[in-house]
Structure 1
Amino acid sequence: MRLPCEVSVVSRLLPSAGLRGPGRAVRALLALGKPPGAGGGEVWLLVSTARHRPGAKYQLRENIEQLFTKFVEQGKATLRLKEPAVDVCLSKANVSQLKTFLSAVKLAHRGTNEENLPLSALVTPKASEVEKPKTKMIITSRKDYPLTQNFPYSLEHLQASYCKLARLDMRVLCLKSLRKLDLSHNRIKKLPATIGDLVNLQELNLQDNHLESFCVALCNSTLRKSLQSLDLSQNKIQALPAQFCHLRELIHLKIDDNSLIRLPFKIGQLSQLRFLSVARNKLPYLPSEFAKLSLENLDLFGNPFERPEPLVPDIQLKIPLTLLEYSARATVNYRLPYGSHVLPFHLCVDLDMAKTCQCGQACLSSFIQTTVTMNLHSVAHTVVLVDNMGGTEAPILRYFCSLTCYGQFLDRYLQSVR
């Protein structure tokens, strides 16, 4: 049996001699077995490292003084040997493999017949077996892109830029430890929903591709709990789905140089967002929930914002309200639980997209809509100028659930401009 992990072999005699122990743990391969040509039933432990691949051998039969397994669920354990007087400290091991390995060590210590043990040949391992796993790979040209070899499964950071990729390489989806994926400066048109299976992915860079949309399935995947940085700049995206706001761990978001005509309606739900850049798009105004953001840096330069028209409302108010509108408002206002198991799916979507009036009440399809001016410093500490005239204001949508609420708004607005 073989176990890749990190190992530190500490002699218990060093402190009595006034000597310090060895340094930090190194990558190693542990093996249980019998040396080639050895007779009898003796089982040995072989500890091989990159510096000493032939390794150090330790006999196991009746030679284990104690096993320390308190932190085995963290991939850690210590084998205390009687002769020589050393502690073999294991860390960063696969938990299930470590448990199996420790069980075999106990059996070997008791002298169990070798037929009942998962033994391996105690031969010098290959260099690749004892080298530290590769966690970072950077590819910046098509000729360097691996076509016949798989990516190392230990990768945590993969960059494949300027490789003329038209689609995501399915081999990337096997990299379960991946935390940072950089596919910038390629020709990718569509992302597969299976990219959401990368459960540890924190940073995704898709700058300068040919994307026209962002998949709804990704917004409902495990990326909701892991993704913190997303770069979609220099693509062809016109709108982000409403479900985009499910990515609530986002801290950095870049969507510069696209064709965005609107931001997600519920963007205020991105409570962790601190850096937002949507420069050089086609935004005419900002969604009402934009005012709920709390940013450190905001860039909206180069958008053709329309002039706010608070006195020219878009009236979609129906009087009297329909029974559907009444019941929907009550569901949202009183925070009644709902779901697709009790309501049709399209009604759940409508409730999720409910608008909020200045009075705090909800409205769905019956409302008055207008645009007002918002100073962007109210949501961001640092604001890049909206235009070349030095402005830091932008139009934002405002909704009203009734004529009364809109009338109160008009009174305050007219008083402020007098």
Structure 2
Amino acid sequence: MRLPCEVSVVSRLLPSAGLRGPGRAVRALLSLGRSPAGAGGGGGGGGVWLLVSTARHRPGTKYQLRENLEQLFTRFVEEGKATVRLKEPAIDLCLSKADVSQLKTFLSAVKLAHRGTNEENLPVSTLVPPKASEVEKPRTKMTITSKKDYPLTQNFPYSLEHLQASYCKLVRVDMRMLCLKHLRKLDLSHNCIKKLPDTIGDLVCLQELNLQDNHLESFGVALCDSTLQKSLRSLDLSHNKIKALPAQFCQLRELVHLKLDDNGLVRLPFRIGQLSQLRCLSVARNKLPFLPSDFAKLSLENLDLFGNPFERPTPFVPDIQLKIPLTLLEYSARAVINYRIPYNNRLLPSHLCSDLDMAKACVCGSACLSCFIQTTVTMNLHSVAHTVVLVDNMGGTEAPVLCYFCSLTCFSQFLDRHLQSTR
């Protein structure tokens, strides 16, 4: 039975001798087993022994366990930490960064060995020094920048936290990557990936995802509904073929950095204002004719919208889709949104829930569903961002923003204010 973890060996006699204890913990492999007959270090006796092996000393140090355990400290076992206190020698083995389930099993076996349980009842064998690979520090970073270096016959180290596989001509995401549960940064830039698997959302620790310069045409709804909502901080989708992002994209509310340059985007998600943590947004060289009304809710540090074919604002040429009187569906939908009445697929048909999720907001704050007036107005981008890259070569920092109005009254009041401001 073996347990990989970090170990610090602390002698309880050092303070009485006026000496300081050892330094930080080191990576080690703890093994339980029978000591070979005639082995050195007092290992010739019976019972189960504990072997602590490190990269510097693979043969390790053996400690007898039978009636030699003074106490187990397991208060923080759920964090992968525990302390094994031995009687002879008077030392504490401080364990950390261990797998919780393995640690619990290991400590249970240590207790049984201390009580003198027959070796036949414990899953142990003769102690042997571990291989070098078993005591080395787990690999946390791996960088691959060519197809010839890409591993085909070996799995990725399970302990990886940062994986880069660029310029490898990948046409799909390798499913072996999706088993790396500790992965925090995944860089698959400069490949030929056309579609993302929904299971990327199972990487619960993923904070940075770089998909720059691929052949992506969409970003799936399933990814927006996954655990990425809580973990993802940085997303780079630049230099792809994405024309639109789903409305659910704005559920990725922990995003801080978002790059969408050089795609074919014709619109941004209309609820983009929900990305309250967003600080850096780059959507240069796309096909945006205007910005969504929710754009005004953003609070950015850096904004780049250069190279988009923005249309000239037309505040006096509205698109009127208002029905008078309003339909019963419109009245009901507005009431649900305005009074924040909870709804879900068990209370309402799914298509009505989808319509309510897509409800628009009037400048007065009220909701409107399918009956509204819309027009575009000018917004100075410095009102939402501290640093703005010029929108065009003429030095402009203004862009058209779509506005909605729930009634003729709201639209008339807007026109009055707009006329007064232009006089």
| TM-score, with length taken from structure 1 | 0.98
* CA deviation map 1:279-309 (0-9, x unaligned): 1111010000001111111111111111100
Instruction: For residue 41 of structure 1, report the CA deviation from its aligned partner.
Output: 4.0
* 1:18 pairs with 2:23: no
* 1:230 pairs with 2:235: yes
* CA deviation map 1:44-87 (0-9, x unaligned): 00000000000000001111111111111111111111111111
| Contiguous gaps of at least 5 residues in structure 1 | none
Partners of 1:31 and 1:120 within 8 A in 2: no
* CA deviation map 1:317-359 (0-9, x unaligned): 0111111111001110110010111111111111011111111
Amino acid at match of 2:24: R
What corresponds to 1:351 in structure 2? Answer: 356
Partners of 1:316 and 1:366 within 8 A in 2: yes
Partners of 2:145 and 2:166 within 8 A in 1: yes
* 1:47 pairs with 2:52: yes
* Alpha-carbon distance in 2 for matches of 1:89, 1:336: 54
* 1:412 pairs with 2:417: yes
Q: Which of the residues 160, 169, 175 maps onto 2:174? A: 169
* Alpha-carbon distance in 1 for matches of 2:16, 2:391: 71
Partners of 2:35 and 2:45 within 8 A in 1: no
Q: Give 1:352-367 correspondences, 5 Å limit.
A: 352-367=357-372
* 1:103 pairs with 2:105: no
Partners of 1:235 and 1:257 within 8 A in 2: yes
* Alpha-carbon distance in 2 for matches of 1:113, 1:199: 42
* CA deviation map 1:348-383 (0-9, x unaligned): 111011111111110010000000001111111111
> Taking structure 1 as reference, are residues 288 and 43 closer, same or farther at Cα in structure 2, changes over 3 Å only?
same
Name the SS of the counterpart of 1:162 in structure 2. Answer: coil
Q: Which of the residues 289, 297, 305 maps onto 1:292? A: 297
What corresponds to 1:35 in structure 2? Answer: 35
* 1:150 pairs with 2:155: yes
* CA deviation map 1:6-55 (0-9, x unaligned): 00111122222222222111111001111123676411000000000000
* Alpha-carbon distance in 1 for matches of 2:205, 2:125: 33
With 375-384 and 115-124 compared, the bigger mean Cα shift is at 115-124
What corresponds to 1:82 in structure 2? Answer: 87
* Alpha-carbon distance in 2 for matches of 1:118, 1:253: 52
Q: Give 1:1-400 correspondences, 5 Å limit.
A: 1-37=1-37, 41-400=46-405
Name the SS of the counterpart of 1:416 in structure 2. Answer: helix
Name the SS of the counterpart of 1:373 in structure 2. Answer: strand
Partners of 1:2 and 1:120 within 8 A in 2: no
Instruction: For residue 118 of structure 1, report the CA deviation from its aligned partner.
Output: 2.5
Partners of 1:329 and 1:364 within 8 A in 2: yes
Name the SS of the counterpart of 2:375 in structure 1. Answer: strand
* CA deviation map 1:191-217 (0-9, x unaligned): 011111111111000000011111111
* CA deviation map 1:161-208 (0-9, x unaligned): 000001111111111111100000000011011111111111000000
What corresponds to 2:41 in structure 1? Answer: none
Partners of 1:245 and 1:264 within 8 A in 2: yes
Name the SS of the counterpart of 2:273 in structure 1. Answer: helix
With 15-24 and 140-149 compared, the bigger mean Cα shift is at 15-24
Amino acid at match of 2:267: R
Amino acid at match of 2:126: A
With 178-187 and 293-302 compared, the bigger mean Cα shift is at 293-302
Instruction: For residue 225 of structure 1, report the CA deviation from its aligned partner.
Output: 1.1
| Contiguous gaps of at least 5 residues in structure 2 | 39-43
* CA deviation map 1:82-128 (0-9, x unaligned): 11111111000111111111111111111111122222431010111
Name the SS of the counterpart of 1:54 in structure 2. Answer: coil
Amino acid at match of 1:112: T
* Alpha-carbon distance in 2 for matches of 1:69, 1:344: 51
Amino acid at match of 2:26: V
Name the SS of the counterpart of 1:265 in structure 2. Answer: coil
Runs of 4+ with >3 A deviation: 37-41
Name the SS of the counterpart of 1:397 in structure 2. Answer: strand
Partners of 2:49 and 2:62 within 8 A in 1: yes
Partners of 2:301 and 2:386 within 8 A in 1: yes
